[in-house]
Structure 1
Amino acid sequence: MTRVVLVEDHDMVAEAIGQALERAGIEVIARASTAAAALAETRHGRPDVVLLDRRLPDGDGTALIPALLRDGAKVLMLTGDATASVAARVAEAGGAGLILKSARLDELVEAVRRVAAGESVFDQKLLSGVLDRLTGRVKHAGATLTTREQETLLLLADGAGTEQISTRLGVARNTARNHVQRVLDKLGARSKLEAVSIARREGLLD
Structure 2
Amino acid sequence: MPAPSAPHRPVRVLLVEDHDMVAEAIRLALERSPDLRIVGHAASVAAALVDAERCEPDVVLMDRRLPDGDGVTAIADLLALIPDVRVLVLTGEGNGSVAARVAETGGAGLILKARGLHELEDAVRRVAAGEMVFSPGLLGDVLERLSGRTPGVGANLTPREREALHLLGEGRTTAEISAQLGVALNTGRNHVQRVLEKLGARSQLEAVTIARREGLLT
TM-score after normalising by structure 2? 0.90
Contact 1:54/1:62 (CA < 8 Å) preserved in 2?
yes
Q: How far apart, in 2, do the equivalents of 1:115 and 1:52 lie?
A: 13
Indicate the SS of the match to 1:140: coil
1:165-180 matches, cutoff 5 A: 165-180=177-192
Does structure 1 residue 112 correspond to structure 2 residue 124?
Answer: yes
Structure 2, unaligned runs of 5 or more: 1-9
SS of corresponding position for 1:125: coil
TM-score (norm 1): 0.95
1 or 2, which has the higher helix percentage?
1
| Alpha carbons 1:42, 1:73 under 8 Å: kept | no
- Which secondary structure state, in structure 2, belongs to the residue aligned with residue 68 of structure 1? helix
**CA deviation vs aligned residue, 1:6-29 (integer Å, no higher than 9, x gap):** 011111110110010011221101
Counterpart of 1:136 in structure 2 is: 148
- How many Å apart are 1:119 and its aligned residue? 1.3
Identity of aligned residues (%): 63
Please name the residue that 1:163 is paired with: 175
Tell me the equivalent position of 2:33: 24
Within 2, Cα distance between the matches of 1:159 and 1:31? Answer: 32
The answer on 1:146 being equivalent to 2:155 is no
2:57 counterpart of 1:53: no
Greater than 4 Å deviation, 4+ residue runs: none
- How many pairs were matched up? 206
Larger Rg: 2
Report the Cα distance in structure 2 between the residues aligned to 1:105 and 1:121, rounded to whole angstroms.
Answer: 15
Instruction: Give the alignment's Cα RMSD to 1 decimal.
Output: 1.3
Q: 1:94 aligns with which of 81, 106, 125?
A: 106
**8 Å CA contact 1:145, 1:183 repeated in 2:** yes
> Quick one: distance in 2 between partners of 1:31 and 1:89?
24
1:152-173 per-position Cα deviation (integer Å, ceiling 9, x unaligned): 1112112222222222222222
